[in-house]
Structure 1
């Protein structure tokens, strides 16, 4: 039997509280072709194996509930976007000049958006992948982190415009593993017209990243040396990414994003020291006397208040697990998508801050903006 279909992922549901993602793949059991639908809800996965006709009807119905589908065949990749008015946009990209095999075994290894065996120059130059496309064993955690980040990008694709150039700013880009991955995934694989600017304080790192960008012919990927708080090089930004910006640098990046009216914010905070030096609470005294507990509590409170402030500014904010805790304790990602209305939560934020005797930088910056 000849089958071209490899996999599909339906994501970005139109309503909250239900299934948030569905993955589809072919499955051969006892000589019979099925399609396995893996549905994700509340951190649980549910599997159903359907015959082809039944699977076709089920997927057609699901397309009314989700705003996008990523589909992969042996020869091509497709991005299907469905607007609020039901307009369907389909983008097609060849499989990097190769024809892939279809794995229909019942148990198979996890599939990644960037897979082992693909020839990806930036992963090779950054030491994650060999020239033969194999993942360097000692860098497999970095490979997983890159793919996990791209899954977050995949989820927010329907929020990005398709009729003009998309501008993305990456604050604190460092060696830019994820910046290069973002450009490769959006522009090279999905053919988005995207311009990405990476910003960092280390001049040698910025120089090296620009050299690589020119080497790959990534015309709209550039890196600049500078401070997050002082950056003024853009008037309109569609997405702001800030990964491991230390302490209040994350707050300056979030405030910049809000000021631009960025449609999407992806932030992985780091080193949240600010509230740790401010928190005072008689009620929580039994917790606060333990330094490690106080440090972790302060970090969680910082990120929770950041998310609440973003909600106040008209964003739908989520706090998600970036990668497994076993790989790094800095595993929280704040994902915020701009909505049509603001949340009336100012009094709740104030009550929380008064109870903890804290004044977070994100509040100062956003209140000053207002």
Structure 2
């Protein structure tokens, strides 16, 4: 529930000046205000001169580092930062993590996570095991059974491996074909926990999903940052061009629509877990396979499985031709879902090589197929 901002900032001040502080990050901005710096990070350090509180601020051009003496000097520096209209605070101590988000109305939403076991080592193991704390309020809303926690954790690990260690101060995310949006919310909770300002939009064709997901965002206290629109993947209107595009289990050519929009936006990062590969399978049916690969498509079940592989191979190839580095990885163990492949892409802007162009051309020519994605990409 929202709390008075002054009360929450007083608690934040105590944590920032406490000897048990491990790290703190302030980022984002409150509605209608702009801080003098885009990001601030605080951590205790030990120098030759003794213990200091290190404060690194970034004005968007270059970082500035100060090492202040604990006591009145540190208190004055902390008070100056708390007076800035940051939208988010993330504080880590030896025993807890506190996340604060300032709402549009100027109140504060606060989430506290602390050790649930007596042993610090046991807490370390638990933190290492799950990227999103099993005690996070998200699991109270969506349910926290073991299978769902494993899928969320596998997704977040893929996300962690895709993004750089240092994120931009504001990260804009779209989830295309978000469905019931539990992975959308998981991405938000994880990214917000990394101390950056996160804006998320989920897109789904069903209006009832938009209404349901918006209600969940309200219950989690993140409706200022996480919103939903009803519309198709190819035409839904967004309030921004995203940095990160998610398309998780979008069916058949809906995955191609999502990848095409990501390329059109020049999104920096893309995570897509394809589902239901009908398009290429239909093109292969009744077509003679090039020699000596007739056995690959002679039997229906083999043809369908090969079509899955060929479809995603061509998708990865087309992303490379459009300036992305692509990894094809396992999303989650096939014991949990048979749709367990993920395309993980980072934009490099590199022009395609002649070898890459030749390989793609040979694939489509030999198999006599035309990938849906090739018809959707910006010309």
TM-score by length of 1: 0.68
CA–CA separation in structure 2 for the residues paired with 1:114 and 1:97: 11
* Partner secondary structure for residue 162 of structure 1: coil
How far does residue 229 in structure 1 lie from its aligned partner after superposition?
Answer: 1.1
CA RMSD, Structure 1 to Structure 2 (Å): 2.8
Residue in 2 that maps onto 1:277: 282
Residue in 2 that maps onto 1:198: 202
Q: Cα 1:251–1:160, aligned 2, differ >3 Å: closer, same or farther? A: farther
Stretches of 4+ aligned residues off by more than 4 angstroms? 107-110
* Partner secondary structure for residue 308 of structure 1: helix
CA–CA separation in structure 2 for the residues paired with 1:289 and 1:160: 50
CA–CA separation in structure 1 for the residues paired with 2:246 and 2:133: 23
How far does residue 209 in structure 1 lie from its aligned partner after superposition?
Answer: 0.8
Pick aligned residue for 1:112 from 130, 140, 145: 130
Note if 1:212 corresponds to 2:178. Answer: no
Pick aligned residue for 1:177 from 179, 182, 202: 182
CA–CA separation in structure 2 for the residues paired with 1:351 and 1:282: 12
CA–CA separation in structure 1 for the residues paired with 2:234 and 2:163: 27
Pick aligned residue for 1:141 from 147, 165, 172: 147
Pick aligned residue for 1:228 from 196, 213, 233: 233
After TM superposition, list the pairs within 5 Å mapping 1:1-370 onto structure 2. Answer: 74-75=94-95, 96-99=112-115, 101-103=119-121, 111-116=129-134, 118=135, 120-128=136-144, 139-158=145-164, 161-163=167-169, 165-187=170-192, 189-218=193-222, 219-279=224-284, 280=287, 281-283=289-291, 284-344=293-353, 345-366=356-377, 369-370=378-379
Q: Cα 1:109–1:210, aligned 2, differ >3 Å: closer, same or farther? A: closer
CA–CA separation in structure 1 for the residues paired with 2:113 and 2:142: 23
Q: Cα 1:233–1:275, aligned 2, differ >3 Å: closer, same or farther? A: same
* Partner secondary structure for residue 158 of structure 1: coil
CA–CA separation in structure 1 for the residues paired with 2:329 and 2:369: 24
Q: Cα 1:247–1:259, aligned 2, differ >3 Å: closer, same or farther? A: same
Q: Which has the higher contact order (CA 8 A, sep 6+)?
A: 2
How far does residue 350 in structure 1 lie from its aligned partner after superposition?
Answer: 1.0
* Partner secondary structure for residue 250 of structure 1: helix
How far does residue 232 in structure 1 lie from its aligned partner after superposition?
Answer: 3.2
Residue range with higher mean Cα deviation, 234-243 or 259-268: 234-243
TM-score by length of 2: 0.66
How far does residue 97 in structure 1 lie from its aligned partner after superposition?
Answer: 4.5
**Larger radius of gyration, structure 1 or 2?**
2
Give structure 1 stretches of 5+ with no counterpart: 7-71, 79-93, 129-138
* Matched pairs, number: 272
CA–CA separation in structure 2 for the residues paired with 1:251 and 1:160: 29
Residue range with higher mean Cα deviation, 236-245 or 202-211: 202-211
How far does residue 146 in structure 1 lie from its aligned partner after superposition?
Answer: 0.3
How far does residue 348 in structure 1 lie from its aligned partner after superposition?
Answer: 1.3
CA–CA separation in structure 1 for the residues paired with 2:173 and 2:168: 14
Q: Is the 8 A contact 1:160 1:166 kept in 2?
A: no
Residue in 1 that maps onto 2:47: none
Q: Cα 1:298–1:97, aligned 2, differ >3 Å: closer, same or farther? A: closer
Q: Is the 8 A contact 2:325 2:346 kept in 1?
A: yes
